[in-house]
Amino acid sequence: MHLISNKAFINGSWISASTNKEFEVINPANGQVVGKVPDMDVQDTQKAIESAAEAFKTWQFTTAKERSTLLRKWYNLLVENQESIAKIMTAESGKPLAEALGEVNYGNSFIEWFSELARNVRGEILQSPVPNKKLFVEHHPIGVAALITPWNFPHAMITRKAGAALSAGCTCVIKPAEDTPLTALALMKLAEEAGIPKGVLNVVTSSREQAPAIGKLLCESPLVAGISFTGSTQVGKILYRQCASGVKRLGLELGGNAPFIVYDSANLQNAVHSALASKFRNCGQTCVASNRFLVQDKIYDAFVSKLVEEVEKLKIGDGSKPGINLGPLINQAQFKKVSELVDDAVSKGAEVKTGGKPVPELGEFFYKPTILTNIKENMLVYTEEVFGPVINVIKFETEDQSLQIANNTERGLAGYFFSEDVAQIFRVARKLEVGMVGVNEGLISTAEAPFGGVKESGLGREGSHHGVEDFTYIKYICVGNLN
C-alpha cells in the first residue's frame, strides 16, 4: 500500500486543496476509512487546466518515439507494482483481490498498447489533380483532454483514456470518481517516476458535492479541447449539453442494458459459465454486464437449473480474503437501487430462484447473487440496468422474438448470444443493435478491440487503433506552385 497518497497531483506537484478541505475514502466491505484526499473545487481545477495547457505547448512537439518510450517506462512500473495497485483498488472499491489484479493487468495493457501505437499514427499523401501541387494529411493532438472516470474500473478507465491521449500528444486533467480516487493517485506516482513531464498528467480529487461544478468547468473552459467521460447516460447527457457551447471534442462511454441470449442450439455449459463471468464481475457493476437473460423455451429449464446450481457456489464477502468471488456494492445508493429493483419484481410476481436479499451479517452493502424468473414487462428489471448481482431470466420462443426484446431499449453498448448454428450466428450478430457483440463468449474487452456503443450508450471508441481518434484532428496541407 506504499502507493497510497493523501494529496492530489497538479503540475508535477503533490498538493492539498486550496481550501485545505479533505474527504474520506471508505472501504465498502467494512466501512473503514482507507484514506483521505483533497476535496478540490473549481479554483483547483482551473490550476490543473492551466498546467495542462502550459505543458501542451511543449508536449505536442515531442516525437512519437519519445512519447512511446515514456509510456513504456510507465507500463513497466505499473507491471512491477501491480499487486500494490490491486490492494489499493480492493480496499477502496470492494472488488475481490483476484479480480482487482485482473483489472490491473487489463488496464496496464492499454499503456502498453498505446506506447506501441504512438509510432503508428500515420498521415497520407494524396494524389493531386494538378501537377504543381502536393497534398498532405496529418494528425495533430487536439490539446488538453479532460478525462472523467468512474468508480467501477478506477484503473482501466484512466489508462484506456490517458494512454491514447498521451500517445497522440495531448495533455490530461483527470477527475476520478469520488469513491475511488486512491487508485488514480497511485497511477500518478508511477507516471511521475517514469519521467512523464510535469503538467502532462494532472489529477483533481473532489467529493460528490464538488463534482458537478468541476465537470461544468472542464466542459466549458476554452483551454480544454476535449472531454472523455465514462459513466451514467444521465450525466453524459449533461456533459454533452455543457460541451456544446465550445463545440468540444467529446467521447462518451455511457450505460448499457446488455442482452444475454441463449438459443436452443447453444452449448449449455459454456453459456452458463459465460453468464457467471459476464454478470458477476465486480458484483455486476459493469457497463457491459449482461442485464437481460433471454433463454429459448426448449433449453430454458435446463439453463435455469444449471445456472442456479453454479450461482449458489459463489462466495460473497470481503474481497481482501482468499476465495471470494463477489464483494460488496460500492455504496448506499447502489445498494438501495438493487434492493428496490428486486423488491419491485417480487411484488409483481417474479420468482426468486436463489438470493434475493441482503447479507447484513457481512456488511452494509452486501447483496446475495440473485436469479429471478417469471419476469414481466411491468417490472422495472425488465427495462432498467440493474448494475448489481441480479440475473433476470425471460423465456422466448423464436429468434425474431429474442431480437425484438433485445433491441427494445435506448441503450446499445454490448450484447451476448450463444448458438452453435453458424447461419444464426451471422444473422443475430448483424441484427443486434449494439456496439460490441460476444458470440459464445462472455468476456470481450481487450486493448486491441474498439470499445463503445450505439444509441444512448455513447459516442466514439476507446482502445484499438481507433482509440486515438478522439484525441487528434486532421490537418490538410496543400503546397502549391511547384515547378
Is position 253 annotated as part of the catalytic site? Answer: yes
Name the E strands within 31-179. Answer: 33-38, 124-126, 134-141, 144-148, 171-175
Three-state SS string over 259-279 comes to EEEECCCCCHHHHHHHHHHHH
Cell numbers at 45, concatenated = 481545477
- The single residue of 50, 99, 192, 253 carrying the catalytic annotation is 253
Name the E strands within 320-432. Answer: 351-354, 370-373, 390-396, 411-412, 414-418
Asked if 14 and 5 touch (Cβ cutoff 8 Å), the reply is yes
Strand partners, 174: 147, 203
β-strand pairing of 370-373 with 351-354: antiparallel
Asked if 50 and 131 touch (Cβ cutoff 8 Å), the reply is no
- Which sign, positive or negative, has the C-alpha torsion 72, 77, 83, 84? negative
Calculate ∠ Cα 93-94-98, nearest 5°.
105
Q: φ and ψ at 478, to 5 degrees?
A: -115, 115
Asked if 421 and 415 touch (Cβ cutoff 8 Å), the reply is no
Q: φ and ψ at 246, to 5 degrees?
A: -105, 5
**CA dist., res. 81 & res. 61, Å (int):** 30
**CA dist., res. 40 & res. 23, Å (int):** 10
Amino acid present at 238? I
Computed on alpha carbons and rounded to an integer, the radius of gyration of the chain in Å comes to 23
**CA dist., res. 73 & res. 118, Å (int):** 14
Spatial CB neighbours of 130, under 8 Å, sequence gap ≥ 6: none
Hunting for cell 436469479 — which residue is that? 371
Burial class (CB in 10 A: 0-12, 13-18, 19+), 452: buried
Q: How many CB atoms lie within 10 A of CB 194?
A: 18
103: nearest Cα among 157, 37, 171: 157
Name the E strands within 8-143. Answer: 8-10, 13-15, 22-26, 33-38, 124-126, 134-141
Catalytic residue positions?
Answer: 253
